[in-house]
Amino acid sequence: MVRQPRYRQFSGVFIAREDRVRDNDAMIRLERVTKRFAMPGRADVVALDCVDLDVARGETVCLIGASGSGKTTALRLVNRLVEPSEGRVVVDGRSVAESDPVALRRRIGYVVQHGALFPHLTVGDNVGLLCALEGWPAARTRARVEDLLDRVRLPARDFAERYPKELSGGQAQRVGVARALALDPPIVLLDEPFGALDPITRRDLQDEFVDLRRDGDRTMLFVTHDLAEAFALGDRVALFDRGRILQVGTPDDLRDRPADEHVATFVAHHAGGVGR
């Protein structure tokens, strides 16, 4: 395994975040969660099988695995887009089953592939939509939108009045991130946000994501199928396989101390892509 410079550059951050995990100050906790999807005319599909996962306040955990391994289902449990069949999901000390889904989701930013911007709204309106729904005064919303667009390096002056169809893939994805941060949520869920981008744009966005992560105290769950991305962006990485978590640990843990053969094989198999 050759360590790439870019990778090493961030390893200090991972160690710093380790402390928070040890505090056992869990912001997100999945407790023995099982999720079965009913399939008409066939046996249920078990998407998650008795999964436990703790994510500390301020920590970024990347969920990685093949498609169908359950990583996206795990993510969607947190903002109640999916309800568990068994077990419990706790966010900030409170079971999500007892929270109002709308109130819960407004405290949890949500970023999906391609940005999923609303094509009938301008970039500014997309970003400011939740502020408007929260009843913010227009001036405050406008200021917030400008601030957010600046942070994702899309000056409001140039971009606020554009429509999503006038953006490149990378720009749309940045707007998607800005929109998720509109209400400054303590938690952000990202579902393969950079999955469909070309490699160069993707690396730019990954770098920006690192910056973004530094300037807040956000807890993030980041689904990806790219091990390099997971190692670069996650404080810890959870490796999913057929509805179970094989190992949760720092990138170093997974690489140097794999829990079993499967983890070792997975890391070795995908190592060629790490760092490049």
Q: What are phi and psi of 70, to 5 degrees?
A: 105, 0
Is residue 114 at the binding interface for other proteins, with CB under 8 A as the rule?
Answer: yes
Least distance from other proteins to the Cβ atom of residue 123, Å: 10
Task: Give dist(CA 61, CA 66) in Å, integer.
Answer: 17
Distance CA 64, CA 66 (A): 7
The continuous run of DSSP H or E covering 178 comes out as: helix 169-180
- 118-157 binders of other proteins (CB under 8 A): 118-122, 129-130, 133
SS3 (DSSP) at 50: strand
Judged by CB under 8 A, does residue 116 bind other proteins?
A: yes
Listing DSSP states for 194-241 in one string gives TTTS-HHHHHHHHHHHHHHHHTS--EEEEEES-HHHHHHH-SEEEEEE
**Contact string (CB under 8 A) for other proteins, positions 61-80, x = contact:** ---------------x--x-
With binding defined as CB under 8 A, does residue 223 bind other proteins? no
Q: To the nearest whole angstrom, how small is the minimum distance from the Cβ of residue 255 to other proteins?
A: 32
C-beta of 263: minimal distance to other proteins in Å?
A: 30
Query: What part of residues 165-184 is at the interface with other proteins (CB under 8 A)?
Result: 165, 179-180
Q: Which is nearer to other proteins, 175 or 254 (CB)?
A: 175
Do 154 and 171 form a contact (C-beta atoms < 8 A)?
yes
**Identity of the residue, 110 or 231, whose beta carbon is nearer to other proteins in the bound complex:** 110
193 binds other proteins (CB under 8 A): no
Site for other proteins contains 112 (CB under 8 A): yes
